[in-house]
Chain A
Amino acid sequence: MLQNKPILIVAFILPIVILLGITLNAEYNLRTGKEVTFPIKGYDPRDLLSGHYLAYTIDYGFEPCKSKLDHYDAYLCIDSKQTFTHLPNNCQTIIKGTCRFGSFIAGVERFYATENTALNLQSMIRQHPMRVVLSVAKDGTAQVKYLLVGDQRLDFGA
């Protein structure tokens, strides 16, 4: 197969550079994105190979996906409470995602919690309303910053 040492060095550097790029991109989005808060509903505490996490549905204040049959890319304009199939020009806060058979998925419907927090979450959810704070970039990429349980802030690692 391949026998070239310079290419071998590139082969090992490439994954490290890609992972570094993903990390830096995520960190950048988190620090520079606009903070937007939404109430959440439909909790599903569970744990998985990648740790304990909470799955939920975000209440955007309107129904983002009209069709329950299709699967398409969608952009939510939070200001005008409208859904577009392309990046809208005159909207301050956009969230990019996919309408999947009636549900809008933006990759922010999951929050990783520590084992202790995950155990306490079930009782906390019943007593207090929950909200999610997102960091939203200009291109619509959203990331979870933290959860709010009542007035209590929950970061990853809490």
Chain B
Amino acid sequence: MKVSDTKIQEWLKAGIIGQEQAKQISSYEANHNKNWVVIGFVILASVVIGLGCISLVAFNWEKIPDLVKLGIDFLGLAALAIAAVYYWQPQAIKFDLLSLIFIILCAASIGLIAQIYNLSSPPYQPLLLWSAMTSLVVAYSYRTFTWWLWLGMFLSGIYLFLADKYSASADGAGIVLAMFYFMVALILSFRNNIKNIALYIATRIWIISLLLVYLLLIELIGNTRIDSNINIILLSNIGFVLALLALLLRSELNVIQKIITAIIMTLLLMHFFLVIGNLDFIFMHALFTCMTLICCAILAATDGHRRLFNFFIVLLGIRAVIFYCEALGGMATSGVSLIILGVLILYCTFLWRRHGATLLQNIERWTNAAK
């Protein structure tokens, strides 16, 4: 958390810190603060440059001979590689920018080669090829965005591969569920071995994203009668067992956190089985989604992740509103019910504003007491 000069002056006036400490804090902040605006624009520039390269491929260079196009492409890659190696230092922003453009240009190169030689393949093949090719380059990066991009492409490749092999209407959700469990198992098992914080953060972001995508997909199935591929069911179960084992054996989480995580994983699996078993009941989706989101919010709170806690509470609120409309059916759009809904939202927002921080602290205190 950045400490501003104003805050330092406040603490000084309140007698919390002395003059010497105030100077030390100011000096430390000046030397260690990341300029997020600069980093943000640098990332934006990299993405825009990368998209520009991809647009050039998409535009179809009509007049340039194929050999020249390939030559320019490979020269570009070589130039970026040389520059990146030259500027390499751990966490150096120039290196991270160059390596990000390099990996995006690799994606553009795959598209260019496919276009020139009329090569086509299932979409998962270029995604997995790109992921394998660029994995070592990404391993040197300390930027969350680079890792987020690479993990996203890799996970998309895995998803499309499994969807290509085993397709049935429920299996989109089943595949995402299996991927979620495997990712949880990985992060719990190797947390202590992951020295790169950017990788850890990017992995957590994708785990949460997979959870939300799964909830969305399973809800979209609704009450449709569906079949599921046995391999996907098996994968989900294996993933569940591995994640549960990793959870039990991981000593850093306390008992409360382990229990809540286990509940979340069980709720997701139960939800999936009820859908594929065509055993749905009224408001089933709302019930399971809300319970999952509540548990996720509590889990975030136990670790003091306030923003994540708020995020899940907001999602819970949105789902509750949808549930209200589902429950009332056609009457939801009537004047009275809309007024009631609006008042409920205002009241909950007021309660949250007043007691949200206290609730978060109480959950943390309760978790610490259980250690």
Contact = CB atoms under 8 A, between A and B. Distances in A.
Contact of B116 (A1, A11, A114, A156): A156
Contacts of B11: none
B84 interface: yes
Contacts of A157: 62, 65-66
Classify the interface of chain B: helix, strand, loop or mixed: helix
A107 B121 contact: yes
B3 interface: no
Contact of B137 (A15, A26, A48, A49): A15
B260 interface: no
B74 A107 contact: no
Contacts of A116: 62
B81 A51 contact: no
Interface residues of B, number: 45
A12 B81 CA distance: 6
B78 A16 contact: yes
B51 to A, nearest CB: 10
A36 interface: no
Contacts of B88: 5, 8
A5 B85 CA distance: 8
B106 A108 contact: no
Interface string A121-157: 0000000000000000000000110000000000011
Given A8-B88, A157-B62, 9 more contacts: A1-B142, A3-B90, A11-B139, A12-B85, A15-B106, A15-B133, A23-B117, A50-B57, A51-B58
Interface of B: 54, 57-60, 62, 65-66, 70, 74, 77-78, 81, 84-85, 88, 90, 102-103, 106, 109-111, 113-121, 129, 133-134, 136-137, 139-142, 165, 195-196, 199
Question: What 3 A-B pairs come out closest when comparing CB atoms?
Answer: A11-B136, A12-B81, A144-B118
